[in-house]
Homo-oligomer: A and B are copies of this chain.
Amino acid sequence: MTVIMEKSSPLAIAHLGPPGTYAEQAAFFYLNWLKKTQAVKATLCAYPTIAQSLQAVATQQAQLAVVPVENSIEGSVTMTMDTLWQLETLQIQLALVLPISHTLISCADNLESIETVYSHPQALAQCQGWLRQFLPNVNLIPSNSTTEALQGLKQEVKTAAIASSRAAQLYNLPILATGINDYPDNCTRFWVISHSQGDAGDQISSRAIAFGTALRAIAPTHTSIAFSLPANVPGALAKALQVFAHLGINLSRIESRPTKRSLGEYLFFIDIETSATQVQTALSELRDYTEILKFFGSYSVTLIDNS
């Protein structure tokens, strides 16, 4: 596979910031992969929310975004799904699976002196058993990201934060305990997202599209779609899922989200494991049973080895 790309300005990769979040870790892995295997230069651009990192690609301020999709313990990242449904022009290029290992970061001498622990709510939830056992009396305070939780740690010795060991290194902070997640098989799946339509006048954009085409050529194994169902049709979801069952297609994920119209109305986000040819058959049959049907892309899955 040979893709000719212009080497001028680097590709911008948007992610949830600041540096040291797990999203940045996945984006950083991807940046290195681009450099090594595709000889493509890229830079990381941190955004305050997942929605803003996806909007940056939709408005072509960035060429790619790396966003979390689901965690094996805490489940779906709803903001990613809701934003992807709203924005019309985005496409999944690749899935990255990052093993998650939380560490307790603090300037305290020992666990006994810690009174407060800060972290992102998902990280606090993923360590709740460990916290109950080793820090049963501390205050747990949510923060916007695992990295934000590190702010002020140097000034405050009775305080700790839960984040990655990479974050501790980046901010030069001591680690008090490692591998504190309750479930050792903890990993988060990310999607690498590009714009779905290139603007011919925009070199960077067309480079990103060419690059997307190169990535898709790596035998896509998964396809992601979402749909809403016609109202008040009993068995509507079963009928839609029967399409996949009849074709022998395995669902690797199903997730419902509220339509935001009224309680009890849902959108369904589905990942299927299948070849590109079967996808077309499935989608054309599915149109008969769905109200709105969106195709987010076919892509392959890569495990990030951060050992």
Contact = CB atoms under 8 A, between A and B. Distances in A.
A interface, size bucket: 35 or more
B144 A97 contact: no
Main secondary structure of the interface of A (DSSP, over half): mixed
A237 interface: yes
A262 B235 CA distance: 29
A245 B256 contact: no
A36 interface: no
Interface string A264-293: 101000000000000000000000000000
Output the residue of A235, A263, A266 with the most chain B CB within 10 A: A263
Contacts of A234: 245, 248-250
Interface stretch (A7-15, A67-75, A107-115, A164-172): A67-75
A39 interface: no
Interface stretch (A21-29, A183-191, A197-205, A210-218): A183-191
B254 A237 contact: yes
Contacts of A141: 144
A302 interface: no
Given A237-B241, A244-B238, A256 B256 contact: yes
B235 A248 contact: yes
A143 B257 CA distance: 23
A257 to B, nearest CB: 6
Interface string A130-167: 00000000001111100000000000000000000000
A73 B245 contact: no
Interface of A: 70-75, 78-79, 97, 121, 125, 140-144, 183, 185, 187, 189, 234-235, 237-239, 241-242, 244-245, 248-258, 260-264, 266
Across chains A and B, which 10 residue pairs bring their CB atoms closest together, nearest first?
A235-B245, A238-B245, A238-B241, A72-B263, A234-B250, A142-B142, A252-B264, A75-B258, A73-B260, A254-B256
